[in-house]
Structures are given as C-alpha cells and as structure tokens.
Amino acid sequence: MKCINKKMNLLVLLCTLIFLLTGCIRTPEEVVVDYELSTYDKSLFLAELNFQDLCVTLGDVNETGFPNVNTIYGGGLFDVTNQKVLFGQSIFQQMYPASLTKVMTALVASQYGNLDDFVTVSPNAVNVSPDSSLCYLASGDVLTLRDLINGLMLQSGNDAAVAIAEHIAGSETAFVELMNKKAQELMATGTHYINSHGLHDENHYTTPYDMYLIFNAYLKNAELAEIAGKSTYSLSITQADQSQREVTWTTTSLYKKGEIPFPSNYQILGNKTGTTLEAGNCLLTFAQNSINNGQYIVITLGAEAKNIGYETTTGLLESVDYE
C-alpha cells in the first residue's frame, strides 16, 4: 500500500516537527486533519476531513487481551463507535478479496443508479463460470436493481454483478472504472479492481484496511446496510416470454443461516463472504454489542477453511473489553 505508507511516513515526520516547534504532543489523527486541511485541495479527496470519523492506524495492532491470530492471512477489528482500530494483522498488505468485491459493486450501483429501475439481463451477464456462485439468472430476465443487489449480497451471484455493471455503465469494463474511482475517493489506495464480482485476477486486490474503508462507507447507506443483514430475499422475475418465476435467494453467511452461533453478547447486523482458491476464505462482519450497543467491523482474509474466519471473528469480538 505504497501511497498510505508514504503518507504515514510523512505523518511521523510532521508529529516530530510539531513537537519540536510547539513543545506539545498531538495525536496522529489531529496532525492528519490539520495537514490535509492546509495542504490538499478539498476536491482531491471529495471530503472535508478524510479521517475525521474513521478508525486510523499507522500499522498493525494487537492490543493486550486479543488472541494471537495465525490462521488467517490478514484482517482487522474496528471499533466503529469509538473510531479505533483494536486489532490489525497485515493491515496494509495487498490481498485478494474474492466476493468481498461485491460490497464495492453494490456501493457504486447505489451511487449511480436508481434502485427502482428495471434491469433486463443480457446474454453476457449469464455467461459467467457455472462453477462460481450464481443467482441463476437467465437472458431476458427483468427485475429491479434493488433485486439484483439483494442477489449480489446474499447469494453472491456473479451473474447479478455483471448485470448490475452493464445496467449502470453500459459495460463491465466501464463500471470497473467507477469502482476504482470510488476506491480512490475513499482513500482505499491499496485496492484495484478488474471485475465486478471478484473472480480471481492477479491485478484484482485490496488490503484489510481498505476493506474496512469500503465496508464502512457501504454501511452508511441504510438500505444497503439492511440488505447485508438479511437471511433470505424472495422476488418474482419476469422472464423473456413474460411469464413469472418465483425465486428465493439465501445468504451465504453461516452466522445468518444459524450454522454458527453468534458471538456472546453480540448481534450480527451484516455479513459478506468471499471464497476463491487464491483468496482463501474471506469474511466481513458488522456486529453490535447487546450490552453497550457498541458497533464493530471485523475483517478476515485468507482463512484456510470457511469455519476459521467465523471462529476468528467470534474470538476477536468476544475479546473486546466492552464494559
């Protein structure tokens, strides 16, 4: 994550200079805010204070009381309520996101599209690997953009991802340009997309911290946040011959399916899973503590088995000192 590393190195230098010149110690977050306001044109990042409401870290974090995690490639635990990184492993290292990509697909679709628009599925959209996760759409199917985002986030349909991309931008290639633009706006500078679904490409990658930035932005959209928390979604699809097909899509989250218990004293408000051979098992979780109402984002990337991501997520959440 070259850009962030350079920026953070500059931050350390600035902290030192401020201490020498003023004789006072300031937090890294305060220095970042002042530096950005005085140095950068606001339109560069499309935000007045880029770090004002974000969890910020200069590197990996392993606070006392958290388990040592050696079963995932990288990840993080982010205290959204108090804007603090509680745990971070390989937090700025580039990794493959698999279907976690679809969080950005949904975010861009909601920004540029109307969720009530009707979408006609093209032959190209259904021409994706039959061995990958699908909503089993057919060419000529008509459904709303809202329907497609539900299929994208719950059933993780790669066909839904392409259908969304083509509807919003005319082609998947053009849509991916919007995805990369949005990543830069969110300061997710260690992220680069090649497609809208997350099937493997060596030039398609993210970092644990970037995934936090992207998922955090996604959750600020109330309807998208609600979709991420659903277990099922039922709809009626108008087929090419004008007949109706009744469909129910089911979440890929083992938490939401009831196959893995929620962490003690937590509600799981949202999940997104992703798996490829190269990326391993990836999991995004949005959770709320039922005692102090604190909200947390947990990211695990590269777990060797599906259950490991959940076990790691549960272990991290249950290690939080929330009282």
Spacing of C-alpha 163 from chain mean position: 20
Fold of the CATH domain 101-198+231-250: Beta-lactamase (3.40.710)
Average pLDDT over the chain, rounded to whole?
A: 87
Residues designated as active site? 99, 102, 156
Distance separating alpha carbons of residues 181 and 100, to the nearest angstrom: 17
Contact at 8 Å (CB) between 102 and 193? no
Distance separating alpha carbons of residues 290 and 265, to the nearest angstrom: 5
Reported as a single tens digit per residue, the pLDDT across 224-242 is 999 999 999 999 999 999 9
Please give the pLDDT value at position 31. Answer: 39
The single residue listed with the structure tokens 């390989």 is 90
Region of 43 on the Ramachandran plot (φ > 0 left; ψ -120 to 50 alpha; else beta): alpha
Per-domain residue ranges of the chain: 1-52, 101-198+231-250
Contact at 8 Å (CB) between 306 and 255? no
- Tell me the CA end-to-end span of the chain in Å, nearest whole number: 35
The single residue listed with the structure tokens 């109307």 is 114
Q: What is the pTM of this model?
A: 0.84
Q: Residue 51: pLDDT band by 50, 70, 90 thresholds?
A: low
Q: Residue 169: pLDDT above 90?
A: yes
Region of 46 on the Ramachandran plot (φ > 0 left; ψ -120 to 50 alpha; else beta): left
Reported as a single tens digit per residue, the pLDDT across 250-306 is 999 999 999 999 999 999 999 999 999 999 999 999 999 999 999 999 999 999 999
Pick the closest to residue 166 from 218, 112, 86, 215 (CA basis): 112
